[in-house]
Amino acid sequence: MTIDHLPDRSSQAREVRDQEPRAARPGGGISAAAALEPLVRSVLGRAVPVPIELWDGSSIGPLAGPGKLRVGSRDAVRHVLWSPGELGFARAYVAGDIDVDGDIFEVLRLLHQAAPRDVRVGLRAIPAALGAALRTGALGRRPVPPREEARPRGLRHSLGRDRQAVTHHYDVGNDFYEMVLGPSMTYSCARFDEPDIGLADAQSAKHDLVCRKLGLTDRRGMRLLDVGCGWGSMALHAAERYGAKVLGITLSDEQAGLARRRIEAAGLGAEVEIRVQDYRELSGEQFDAISSIGMFEHVGSSQMASYFTILRSLIGPGGRLLNHAISSAGGSRMTGRTFIGRYVFPDGELLDVGEVVLAMEKGGFELRDVESLREHYELTLRHWVANLERHWADAVREVGEARARIWRLYMAASANGFADGGISVHQVLGVADDPSGSSGMPPTRAGWV
């Protein structure tokens, strides 16, 4: 080892000093930072990645960073103590006892990188947590969780429980969604296929990609089923651009109401029908193509085979299905112990794209294309967070601060998940071959890229 590679002990000493708890409690006594420091380091490691400011003005961690974590009260410690892990942190954040100042994407990324992946590390933090709670006066009864938590009843993925889950997520006010999503009212991954393209144009590009993959560009008047149609954006695009006859279905009354108003305003009432209906209630109808965009996450692994079998029964020879969904290697269920399961997507499941491909094949589709749009979803979410922060005061007036905070945390954390590959999003294209084996597909991807 040359002298150039020897450790810089002066810089190490500065790092330790910068990481020491600062600012004793006014009036003397132990500060919140000094009390919590053993717990924080047991969870985040020796070098705390971001400044953490406590309720008494003391702090832990570096002097500066891309942002800071503000712990506003002892209730934050109680939330984490009673619900260790992400749910306790989320409850404290939603309740306003923890906040993030500055670049929320970077703060969450650094905290995620530092947090242990090994459950044994978390178990070793229990003594430190109890000691910190005792020293800060945070020992006490379990805090009441924010009322925005979802607790659906009934059998998981039954029709009734799925309606509860959809209502919790989507029926929070169309005005709020417009603030977040922008005028396109499209709640799924956009496609940024040109430099510096705006969000609305990127959503239009995504819809056009779906139309091309489904062959709606081949002839006018094709009949399209849009499963989980949201506020009608895909239906409007297919009808306006390609003359498709569209049936859109959703379980959200608020989505259906606005979609119908948008369709009437566009003069497309004869081309597009919107129903409040579950896909399991469809029968006896035939379509040339089916789009399922951002809906499959609600289906669940237990219903996946039935889902594709039902959709295959609704499509004739040569018909195509485009399934656009968030995916996770190995699959991931959003349980009641997770932030997203409690506050965002009750009963949601992210399925492995390999499992989706297999289920589509077993359901009677020939698989023709799989495309990842992972990086595009990160960009989409960054646009949505920027929209929310720009309209923050109006959003809080519309849905309350707690729900606005839920969406800020959910979208920023999800953007990081797409950025680091923890989650992805895939479009999977299948075709129902005719009895001779002909697919009617273009010979190359040039037909839709």
d(CA 262, CA 255): 11
* Sign of the dihedral through C-alpha 378, 381, 385, 387: positive
How confident is residue 43, by pLDDT bands cut at 50, 70 and 90? confident
- The phi-psi region of residue 23 (left if phi > 0; otherwise alpha if psi is between -120 and 50; otherwise beta) is left
> 430: closest CA among 365, 355, 371, 353?
365
CA torsion, points 370, 374, 379, 384, in degrees to nearest 10?
Answer: 90
Other beta carbons less than 10 A from residue 60's beta carbon: 26
pLDDT in tens, 192-243: 998 889 999 999 999 999 999 999 999 999 999 999 999 999 999 999 999 9
Average pLDDT over every residue of 42-60: 88
Phi (first) and psi of residue 62, to 5 degrees: -65, 160
The confidence score (pLDDT) of residue 138 equals 67
Contact 286, 315 (CB under 8 A): yes
Chain position carrying tokens 């306790």: 88
Whole-number pLDDT of residue 142? 84
- Report the mean per-residue pLDDT for the chain: 87
Mean pLDDT of 186-190: 97
Q: What is the pLDDT of residues 288-319, one digit of tens each?
A: 999 999 999 999 899 999 999 999 999 999 99
**pLDDT band, very low/low/confident/very high, at 10 (cuts 50, 70, 90):** very low
pLDDT computed for residue 13 by the predictor? 40
Task: Say which residue, 236 or 142, is predicted with more confidence.
Answer: 236
pLDDT digits (tens, 9 = 90+) for 101-116: 999 999 999 998 887 6
CA dihedral of 131, 136, 140, 144, whole degrees rounded to 10: -120
Say what the pLDDT of residue 120 is: 44
Q: How far apart are the first and last CA of the chain?
A: 54
Q: Give the per-residue pLDDT at 115.
A: 77
Average pLDDT of the segment spanning 61-90:
88
As a whole number, mean pLDDT of residues 329-350 equals 84
Mean of the pLDDT values across residues 365-374? 97
214 vs 449, more confident: 214
One-letter amino acid of 279 = Y
pLDDT at 163: 81
Phi, psi of 2 (to 5 degrees): -85, 170
Indicate if the pLDDT at residue 162 is higher than 90: no
Question: Residue 370 — pLDDT band, cuts 50, 70, 90?
Answer: very high
| SS3 sequence of the chain | CCHHHCCCHHHHHHHHHHHCCECCCCCCCCCHHHHHHHHHHHHHCCCCCCCEECCCCCEECCCCCCEEEEECCHHHHHHHHHCCCHHHHHHHHHHCCEEEEECHHHHHHHHHHHCCCCHHHHHHCHHHHHHHHHHHCCCCCCCCCCCCCCCCCCCCCCHHHHHHHHHHHHCCCHHHHHHHHCCCCCCCCCCCCCCCCCHHHHHHHHHHHHHHHCCCCCCCCCEEEEECCCCCHHHHHHHHHHCCEEEEEECCHHHHHHHHHHHHHCCCCCCEEEEECCHHHCCCCCEEEEEEECCHHHCCHHHHHHHHHHHHHCEEEEEEEEEEEEECCCCEECCCCCHHHHHCCCCCEEECHHHHHHHHHHCCCEEEEEEECHHHHHHHHHHHHHHHHHCHHHHHHHHCHHHHHHHHHHHHHHHHHHHHCCCEEEEEEEECCCCCCCCCCCCCHHHCC
Token pair of 116, please?
């242990």
The least confident of 9-23, 59-73, 152-166, 349-363 is: 9-23
Higher pLDDT, 172 or 371: 371
**What tokens appear for 102 in the block?**
């500055």
pLDDT at residue 122 tops 70: no
Q: Is the pLDDT higher at 71 or at 342?
A: 71
Whether 331 has a pLDDT exceeding 90, the answer reads no
Residue 169 has pLDDT above 80, yes or no: no
Q: Which whole-number Å values give the CA distances from 94 to 129, 155, 206, 402, in the listed order?
A: 21, 28, 32, 5
According to the model, what pLDDT value does residue 187 have? 95
CA dist., res. 203 & res. 21, Å (int): 47
Mean of the pLDDT values across residues 393-421? Answer: 95
Predicted local distance difference test score (pLDDT) of residue 21: 62
Q: Domains plus CATH for the chain?
A: 16-136 (no CATH), 159-447 (3.40.50.150)
Percentage of the chain lying above the pLDDT 70 cut: 89
Average pLDDT over residues 35-44: 80
CA distance 349 to 248: 22
pLDDT digits (tens, 9 = 90+) for 81-93: 888 778 889 999 9
